[in-house]
Amino acid sequence: MHRFANPARFLRIARVATPILTLTGLICSAVGLWIGLFASPPDYQQGESVRIMYVHVPAAWLGSGGYLGLAIASAVALVWRHPLAEIAARAIAPVGALFTAICLVTGSLWGKPTWGTYWVWDARLTSMLVLLFLYLGYLALSTAEAERGGGKGAAILAIVGVVNLPIIKYSVEWWNTLHQGPSIKLTGSAIAPAMLMPLLVSLAGFTLLFGAIVLMRMRAALATQQVTARARRLAEAHA
Amino acid sequence: MSVFIGLVRRDLALALLRPGTLALPVVFFVLVAALFPFAVGPDARLLARIAPGVLWVAALLAALLPVETLVEPDRADGTLDQLVVRGLALELVAAARLIAHWLGFALPLLIALPVAAILLQVPMAVLPRLALGLLLGTPALAALALVAASLTAGLRGGGALAGLIVLPLALPVLIFGVGIAAPGALRLLAASSLVAVAIAPFAAGAALRGATR
Amino acid sequence: MSVFIGLVRRDLALALLRPGTLALPVVFFVLVAALFPFAVGPDARLLARIAPGVLWVAALLAALLPVETLVEPDRADGTLDQLVVRGLALELVAAARLIAHWLGFALPLLIALPVAAILLQVPMAVLPRLALGLLLGTPALAALALVAASLTAGLRGGGALAGLIVLPLALPVLIFGVGIAAPGALRLLAASSLVAVAIAPFAAGAALRGATR
Amino acid sequence: MTAQHLRVDDLACERGGRRVFEHVGFTLAPGGALQVEGANGAGKSSLLRLLAGLLDPAGGTIDNPFAVAWVGHEVTLKPGMTLLAELHHWARIDRRSAADVDAALARFDLSALRELPCSVLSSGQRRRAALARASLSGAALWLLDEPSVGLDAASRARLATTLADHRGGGGLVVAVTHEPLGLDAPQRLRLGE
Amino acid sequence: MTAQHLRVDDLACERGGRRVFEHVGFTLAPGGALQVEGANGAGKSSLLRLLAGLLDPAGGTIDNPFAVAWVGHEVTLKPGMTLLAELHHWARIDRRSAADVDAALARFDLSALRELPCSVLSSGQRRRAALARASLSGAALWLLDEPSVGLDAASRARLATTLADHRGGGGLVVAVTHEPLGLDAPQRLRLGE
Ligand code: HEM
Ligand SMILES: Nc1ncnc2c1ncn2[C@@H]1O[C@H](COP(=O)(O)OP(=O)(O)OP(=O)(O)O)[C@@H](O)[C@H]1O
Ligand SMILES: Nc1ncnc2c1ncn2[C@@H]1O[C@H](COP(=O)(O)OP(=O)(O)OP(=O)(O)O)[C@@H](O)[C@H]1O
Ligand SMILES: [Mg+2]
Ligand SMILES: [Mg+2]
């Protein structure tokens, strides 16, 4: 657990990992998207608009997956006071929020041709919107706390938010959903392999990019942290 | 225990010193109720249909109004320090504050409910159910408001920030509350209040500990 | 004059509205708008119909949220004393605070309007009229909130309560606001805002002078 | 004609319906200093508020031709703002330049703290900030309520020299205090005797 | 076995990521007093907060077997409450009797003001109220941050005797101050040297 506790070691590892993730991520998503957008068959009922899926679905998964990561990092920060965990959480949040937003935008763009409207109050759409709000709440609180000089609030919020996620999922029972249910399962996916393959490839690519961006942000955060600390010492030296 | 009761009594006494704080949510609640008939027009059926939702949203937002003065003053004037030094668990303090806040915010709201209901032309038959729903649901709202207030104590942009934190978490309560017609909704409402009230003191306590540092 | 602008700038800075952090209140409003579909159900036609009401509820909430922190802190920490000693008219201070308060909640509200409109399924054609209505009506809400805040500053008990008496005056504004479809409603909105904004600085100033004594 | 004076005659003060003091009078010429003493609750702060026009006399007259700089018991700094932002704000109202702000910061040895948010300043640092604000206001009459409270020895010396300089430039000082401020040859006024 | 002591060893303090002081250590026996001095910003209040458990040490250890009474820079009185109500509230938490409250009020000559709302008290009267609250808490270790600030001569004398009595009864005092408190033979700790 504490193997990475010391920022120096983390930085050493991250310095190597970042470019690798970035490169492979770019390649995978490029390939996946290229196949998806040009080299895969149009959907027999949705036509070309189905191609949005290759962005939409990975974004959706990373959006929700990112929040899980955020909550876990926050828990580690709270329980073990792990120095890097908080930085990790603050690095993950905006990226996850971004993917969530992408999912929402692509989704509603997809909605216009398929459902005839940009937005419907459908269980899944709504739950995704709420997820975005949770992200934004975390971001606002954590920055405000950083301004004051730290605090546990944002971490607590992130964890409490996770308690809320399943509840949001169950809201399906209050609305009949327009959105399609899970068609991709580990066994026997209800989706044509010609579509599944590029989807999974771009998913892998996006995931790698997600990791790369988080690492970059963590490194940046650590750097600024050291700089400001030094500046503070200098200033106060002759106070 | 006597200490706990003492804390609740004290919080209530302080709240009574500032009845403006107590009245503000009620004023807001009634204003919102008075507003919607004009928004949707005279159609009574339509009005009756949205009435529970409107009342619940109004209640939810009303719970947010005192958020900036719920704990911040105690942090700023050193009250929290005095309590911590005496070895009182901030969770206990938060629990006392939660009870006081609920009494100070939910009771006036329930008293104002009939007025609001009349304004929204809610059939009197529905009123008891609505009241029961609010009675069961408002503890959750109070709990969320307390947590938000503790989280944002001493931070800029208190109100909007607190709202951003509370509202997503309050959605389940809102959904259960509006759906009280549905079977078992009341039970779900009570359940979510129980959960919220059970967790809130610990979340708030931890947040306050951070704020005194 | 430069002093006046300085006061407004300062108030904005204190109200978290440093450029960039505008995002927070904007999101807050989208969130408030998003509450109603949960409360009244996803029926698009219904939502579109109550949309004006929803937006005005958001406006009212935003105007009232800071009532307790709008002027009281300045009294308690001696800011008002510093201003009075410098020979600044408290009316001027109040006017600056009024503008800052309005910018602080009405601007984000207007920015959030398009998104809220999509969520509430408001036909784009109606949007400009809604925006215009908010633009014309919200100054009145800001003015009333400021007067209430000034009247309650430093007072406790009955006095603090009395300060809230002005708030029901918001009802006409809200009614004109949600009824913007009606002929002449916009003119009425503008008129009530004009009156409120013209009177508020003097009422608030007088109240503040009392509070510093 | 003679130079302007701060003239106070047969002043009486009431707080909450209670007569706190009466028959207080004095005259202060440019360059002069009045040191107000007395037990807690004798009405020293109330007297300052009367002189500043923050309170209405229950009797008597105050004739004050001078602009006023006010340092009350409260330091009046907004937690979120940096020290520099605070002083700049008040300097703008007083129509003073950024140079004046820097000078005032230096005068009370606050230059190194200028970028810190006021919420993190120590009590003495805050008090020094309040004094700096008064010293850069350019007002002729300084009303100081226990200005040396919470200051360390070095800062008290700075305060003394600042007050001396101000008086040297024809400024007036009315200071409430429970301990010597290093004012040279001040007039003294004891309340509550 | 020996009596319990307050033991502080190699203590370090950080505020806002900055090291304020380090290598601070002392031992205080029952009846003992520590007078903490140092320039503004040297970390005196921070040290008190560490001792009170209101702040986490950046290094070192604090071994404090005693109950704590806290008098910080803030007086912590609710404006609308009467002085008596305030003291009663804290006395209830400290499980002290009404008689203790009256004694504390008398000790700091506040008995006449008991029915006044705290908002109207003068600064020195407030500070005395804060001291009275500490003196009736029954805690053995008193942590006082500049307790004599704003007090008139008589009240300072009362404070000195109160502290002496407390130490006489086996109590401990850690007091931050910029001026003599009349503690007899206190240990001294200068921060920021
Ligand atoms: C704003 C609108 C939309 C949102 C917020 C949204 C959200 C989501 C989410 C959260 C997922 C991930 C589900 C999971 O966790 O397994 C998902 C998957 C998916 N979405 Fe959407 N969606 C939207 C619109 C659409 C539209 C219009 C279509 C096409 C008709 C669509 C087709 C899909 C498909 C095919 C999947 C993968 C199905 C699966 O295996 O889970 N979505 N969407
Ligand atoms: N707003 C008020 N209403 C009623 N009485 C007040 C008010 N403000 C102050 N008093 C009373 O007036 C008296 C004088 O208060 P003042 O603050 O002037 O005393 P002071 O001389 O400054 O004391 P200190 O040395 O403690 O600052 C006090 O007894 C106080 O209780
Ligand atoms: N919350 C905080 N965040 C960052 N820095 C802080 C914080 N609180 C205090 N400081 C800094 O820590 C240093 C010590 O503060 P502290 O209040 O302990 O000083 P002090 O010795 O009590 O000074 P004074 O004599 O003025 O009371 C100061 O330089 C202050 O700026
Ligand atoms: Mg005084
Ligand atoms: Mg200090």
Looking at residues E62-89, what average pLDDT do you find?
Answer: 94
Ligand 2 center–CA D193 separation, angstroms: 16
Average pLDDT over chain A reads: 78
User: In sequence order, what are the beta bridge partners of D173?
Assistant: D33, D142
Indicate the pTM of the whole model. Answer: 0.88
Chain segment C133-152, per-residue pLDDT in tens: 999 999 999 999 999 999 88
Is the pLDDT assigned to residue E86 strictly greater than 70? Answer: yes
Chain segment B150-192, per-residue pLDDT in tens: 988 877 666 778 888 888 888 888 888 887 777 777 888 898 8
Per run of 10 residues, the mean pLDDT along chain D (length 193 residues) is 82 92 95 96 96 94 95 92 93 94 96 90 96 95 96 96 96 95 93 83
Ligand 2 center–CA C85 separation, angstroms: 19
List of chain A residues whose C-beta atoms are within 8 Å of the C-beta of residue D112: 235-239
* Percentage, residues of chain A above pLDDT 90: 12
Is the pLDDT assigned to residue C23 strictly greater than 80? Answer: no
Q: Is the CB of E148 under 6 A from ligand 3?
A: no
- Which residue from D35, D46, D48 has its CB within 8 A of the most atoms of ligand 2, so it is best to mutate? D46
* Percentage, residues of chain B above pLDDT 70: 98
Give E19's DSSP letter.
E
Is the pLDDT assigned to residue B67 strictly greater than 50? Answer: yes
Does A202 or D26 have the greater pLDDT score? D26
Chain E contact residues (CB < 8 Å to B): 52-56, 67-70, 72-78, 80-81, 85, 89-90, 92-94, 137, 143
Query: Computed over its alpha carbons, how large is the radius of gyration of chain B?
Result: 18
What 3-state class would DSSP assign to A189? coil
Chains that touch D (3 or more CB pairs under 8 A): A, B, C, E
> Listing from the earlier edge strand, what are the strands of the sheet with E18-28?
E18-28, E6-15, E59-63
Is the pLDDT assigned to residue A172 strictly greater than 60? Answer: no
Query: Looking at residue D180, what is its pLDDT?
Result: 92
Is the pLDDT assigned to residue C16 strictly greater than 80? Answer: no
Chain segment C101-125, per-residue pLDDT in tens: 999 889 888 998 988 888 888 888 8
How far apart are the C-alpha atoms of D169 and D182, rounded to whole Å?
17
Is the pLDDT assigned to residue B53 strictly greater than 50? Answer: yes
CA separation, residue D142 to residues C181, C191, D51, D149 (Å): 59, 46, 10, 16
User: In sequence order, what are the beta bridge partners of E108?
Assistant: none
Contact B84 E54 (CB under 8 A): yes
Chain A contact residues (CB < 8 Å to D): 147-149, 235-239
Chain segment A15-67, per-residue pLDDT in tens: 888 888 888 888 888 888 888 777 777 766 666 677 788 888 889 888 888 99
Indicate the Cα dihedral angle E35, E40, E43, E45, nearest 10°. Answer: 60
Size of interface D-E (CB pairs under 8 A): 64
Is the pLDDT assigned to residue C155 strictly greater than 80? Answer: no
Which ligand number lies closest to the CA of residue E150?
Answer: 2
Residue ranges lining ligand 2, Cβ < 6 Å: D 15-16, 20, 38, 40-46; E 116, 120-125, 150
Instruction: State the Cα angle at C75 between C12 and D20, rounded to 5°.
Output: 165
Of E15, E40, E150, which has the smallest distance from its Cβ to D146's Cβ?
E150
Q: Give the H/E segment covering residue E54.
A: none
Looking at residues B190-204, what average pLDDT do you find?
Answer: 91
Does C82 or A162 have the greater pLDDT score? C82
Chain segment C43-70, per-residue pLDDT in tens: 888 888 888 888 898 888 888 888 888 8
> Listing from the earlier edge strand, what are the strands of the sheet with D141-145?
D68-71, D141-145, D172-176, D33-38, D187-191
Give the ranges where B18-157 is alpha helix by DSSP (H): 19-40, 44-64, 72-76, 79-85, 90-119, 127-152
CA distance E33 to chain B (A): 19
User: In sequence order, what are the beta bridge partners of E18?
Assistant: E15
Query: Looking at residue E37, what is its pLDDT?
Result: 95
Convert D14-24 to b/e letters by CB count within 10 Å (16 or more is b): bbeeeebbeeb
How far apart are the C-alpha atoms of D193 and E3, rounded to whole Å?
49
List of chain D residues whose C-beta atoms are within 8 Å of the C-beta of residue E72: none
Looking at residues E122-150, what average pLDDT do you find?
Answer: 96
> What residue in A sits closest to C118 (Cα-Cα)?
A119
Q: Is the CB of A55 under 6 A from ligand 1?
A: no
How far apart are the C-alpha atoms of B18 and B2, rounded to whole Å?
25
**Residue in B126, C112, C105 with CA at minimum distance from that of residue B116:** B126
Is the pLDDT assigned to residue A92 strictly greater than 60? Answer: yes
How far apart are the C-alpha atoms of A119 and C178, rounded to whole Å?
24
Looking at residues E159-183, what average pLDDT do you find?
Answer: 95
Contact C37 A175 (CB under 8 A): no
List of chain D residues whose C-beta atoms are within 8 Å of the C-beta of residue B154: 79, 119
Query: Which of A176-185, D115-124, E128-137 is predicted least confidently?
Result: A176-185
List of chain C residues whose C-beta atoms are within 8 Å of the C-beta of residue D130: none
Is the pLDDT assigned to residue E192 strictly greater than 90? Answer: no
What 3-state class would DSSP assign to D144? strand
In the block, tokens 């109202």 appear at D93
Average pLDDT over chain E reads: 94
Ligand 3 center–CA E46 separation, angstroms: 6
Chain segment C159-175, per-residue pLDDT in tens: 667 677 778 888 888 88
Per the CB < 8 A criterion, the answer to whether D51 and D91 are in contact is no
How far apart are the C-alpha atoms of B149 and B162, rounded to whole Å?
7
Of E74, E89, E94, which has the smallest distance from its Cβ to B10's Cβ?
E89
Pairing verdict, β D6-15 and D59-63: antiparallel
Q: Quick one: pLDDT band at residue C41, thresholds 50, 70, 90?
A: confident
Chain segment A141-155, per-residue pLDDT in tens: 888 787 766 677 888
ipTM of the complex: 0.86
Is the pLDDT assigned to residue A228 strictly greater than 90? Answer: no
Looking at residues A96-114, what average pLDDT do you find?
Answer: 88
Which residue has a Cα nearest atom 24 of ligand 2? D40
Q: Is the CB of A235 under 6 A from ligand 3?
A: no
Query: Looking at residue E1, what is its pLDDT?
Result: 42
How far apart are the C-alpha atoms of C87 and A36, rounded to whole Å?
71
CA distance B157 to chain E (A): 21
In the block, tokens 């006021």 appear at D118
